[in-house]
Structure 1
Amino acid sequence: MSESMDARMRDEIDDQVAEAFDAYLADRLAEPGPLRASLARRRSTGLVLGTVALGALATALAPDGSAAVCWIWGAIAVTDLAWLLTGHRG
């Protein structure tokens, strides 16, 4: 009984976190900044989405507590920010 309640609570929390994240993203996209500017100029976001997908895959495959995950996401952040700020067209 306790395990099913824990599973239901985790599902409810996951739903609430997803809703809050969606609202946060909607607010962030409404604000001026490099991401909104890049979308307004119809720039390709393929590199950004590709690096995030690869980072998610690397995170899933990495051992727990691996320092490599921090390095991977740091490199992704630097690459994506450089791409958004330099004005490359795709």
Structure 2
Amino acid sequence: MSESLDAQMRDEIDDQVAEAFDAYLADRLAAPGPLRASLTSRRSAAVVLGTVGSGALATALAPDESAVTCWIWGAITVIDLAWLLTARRR
């Protein structure tokens, strides 16, 4: 009996957490910010998506050293953040 009660409580808690997370995401997507601004500008979104695609390709072709992969994604992060911040100011 207690196992079924525990399972029911876990399911109810999972549902509540999922609903709260959905509400949080909806609020975050509605809030203004650099990512939201870049999505409205096709040019900015293309640059960001292009760098991420290039990073995925470079990661696939990189040797099995984690340092190389970290440098690749670190550079992509810096480029994308700079691009998003300049796109926001326009």
Question: Under a length normalisation based on structure 2, what TM-score does the superposition of the two structures give?
Answer: 0.57
For residues 2-41 of structure 1, the aligned pairs below 5 Å read 27=25, 28-40=28-40
- The alpha carbon displacement at 1:43 in A equals 4.1
3-state secondary structure, aligned to 2:35: helix
More helix by proportion, 1 or 2?
2
73-82 vs 62-71, which moves further: 62-71
The letter for the 1-side match of 2:74 is G
Distance 1:49 1:85 in 2: 15
**Match of 1:83?**
83
Distance 1:85 1:43 in 2: 15
Name structure 1 gaps, 5 residues minimum. 1-22
Name structure 2 gaps, 5 residues minimum. 1-20
The structure whose Rg is larger is 2
**Match of 2:71?**
71
Q: How many residues end up aligned between the 2 structures?
A: 63
Question: Under a length normalisation based on structure 1, what TM-score does the superposition of the two structures give?
Answer: 0.57
Does the 8 Å CA contact 1:29/1:35 hold for their aligned counterparts?
no
The letter for the 2-side match of 1:48 is V
The alignment yields a C-alpha RMSD, in angstroms, of: 2.4
